Copies of this chain bind each other. A is one copy, B any other.
Amino acid sequence: MSGKKAYNVAIVGATGAVGGKILTILQDRQFPIESLKLLSSKRSAGKKILFNNEEVTVEEATPDSFTGVDIAFFSAGGSISKKLAKKAVDAGAVVVDNTSAYRMDEGVPLVVPEVNEGDLKNHKGLISNPNCSTIQMVAALKPIQSAYGLNRVIVSTYQAVSGAGNAACNELEEQSKQYLNNEEMKAELLPVGGDKNHYPIAFNALPQIDVFGENGYTFEEMKMINETKKIMHAQELPVAATCVRLPFFTSHAESVYIEVNQDGLTVNDIWKVLDGAEGVILEDNPSTQTYPTPLSAANKDEVFVGRVRKDLDNKKGFHLWVVSDNLVKGAALNTVQIAESLIKNNWL
């Protein structure tokens, strides 16, 4: 397929929060598209979406949708990927899957191009896009790992509701209005649509993202732990995560404690490797109150790092504050960047 100038592209989940972002990003980055197929559930089929000023009608995604498709972006939830991603591969498409369905499968590359682009080389048609909270963390940690080694990661997250989709954004908006009007807040979705109980997110914090596993960690926490090791090629790296949903719409923030593998490093040494690192922007100056926030990072492509501090007790310890738009670099942009990398390297 190499040498081809433009590609037949399909998007599964085109009407969702991430699908919409993928469309915008394909358009903004002038991705070389020969034809575009927008796929969704039966419910959303028939909708019309503008792409490059042309109306595209959304079709229902079926096992037969992928004939002639070169690249299929999947972001319609894990169960849809389980049902259709391998059909798409069988039909000859390369799938970039934005769900957790195949991320930890051996033989499925899990890729953040700035971190482990080389893992794409030997793909077998199916490539996974990592979890949003993982992507931004490994993008920030990679330059540090490369320069100084990494012995330990402990992260506490501050995650936006858009990670749970458009309906969660609506829920935050509605509950916020209810609260400000002294009305009772209606909680029907968060923390997890499919779980038993729902709690208000407006003016609150929910220490649960995705369902709980047997070990007391949530699936979101285990994703951060396991995906980080896979992407960074560091199975022995101790990673711990606590994931918390918060009442803002866009961008995840992360308070990250790391231990590097060298004594005597300074904040300057960390700044030096982050400043100018691919996809990373250093925003860190206490004297001017410069640090990234969810609002300042919204709709931007990069991963922003600030509040770099040396631990006061552990000579190898540092603290970072990492913020990125969870729908852009955390999802849609990274997905598109994977496809761009495949094309650039003739790995499609």
A interface residues with partner B (beta carbon < 8 Å): 152, 154, 156, 158, 173, 176-177, 180, 191, 195-197, 199-200, 203-208, 212, 215-217, 225, 238-240, 242, 244, 246-249, 253, 255, 257, 267, 286-289, 291, 293-296, 306-314, 317, 319, 321
Q: Flag if B314 contacts A238 (CB, 8 Å).
A: yes
Chain B residues positioned under 8 Å from A180 (CB to CB): 173, 176-177, 180
Least distance between A24 CB and chain B CB atoms (Å): 20
Chain B residues positioned under 8 Å from A154 (CB to CB): 154, 257
Chain B residues positioned under 8 Å from A296 (CB to CB): 199
Q: Flag if B295 contacts A200 (CB, 8 Å).
A: yes
Chain B residues positioned under 8 Å from A257 (CB to CB): 154, 240, 257
- In the complex, the chain B residue whose C-beta lies closest to that of A287 is B212
Q: Flag if B248 contacts A289 (CB, 8 Å).
A: no
Least distance between A200 CB and chain B CB atoms (Å): 6
Q: Flag if B158 contacts A199 (CB, 8 Å).
A: no
Can you list 17 residue pairs at the A/B interface with Cβ under 8 Å? A154-B154, A156-B242, A158-B244, A176-B176, A176-B180, A177-B180, A180-B180, A197-B288, A205-B248, A207-B307, A215-B310, A216-B267, A238-B312, A238-B313, A240-B312, A246-B247, A255-B255
Least distance between A176 CB and chain B CB atoms (Å): 6
Q: Flag if A205 contacts B242 (CB, 8 Å).
A: no
Q: Flag if B158 contacts A309 (CB, 8 Å).
A: no
Q: Flag if B216 contacts A295 (CB, 8 Å).
A: no
Please tell me which one of the listed residues B196, B238, B246 contacts residue A246 in the complex, with CB atoms under 8 A apart. Answer: B246
CA of A199 to CA of B257 in the docked complex: distance in angstroms?
25
Q: How many chain copies does the complex carry?
A: 2
CA of A244 to CA of B157 in the docked complex: distance in angstroms?
11
Chain B residues positioned under 8 Å from A217 (CB to CB): 309, 312
Task: Given A156-B255, A309-B216, check contact A203 B295 (CB 8 Å).
Answer: yes
- In the complex, the chain B residue whose C-beta lies closest to that of A218 is B286
Name 4 extra pairs, CB < 8 A, besides A154-B154, A215-B312: A204-B293, A205-B293, A212-B287, A215-B310
Please tell me which one of the listed residues B205, B212, B312 contacts residue A158 in the complex, with CB atoms under 8 A apart. Answer: B205
CA of A255 to CA of B153 in the docked complex: distance in angstroms?
14
Least distance between A280 CB and chain B CB atoms (Å): 17
Chain B residues positioned under 8 Å from A152 (CB to CB): 313
Q: Flag if B197 contacts A308 (CB, 8 Å).
A: no
CA of A280 to CA of B138 in the docked complex: distance in angstroms?
36
Chain B residues positioned under 8 Å from A255 (CB to CB): 156, 207, 242, 244, 255
- In the complex, the chain B residue whose C-beta lies closest to that of A161 is B203
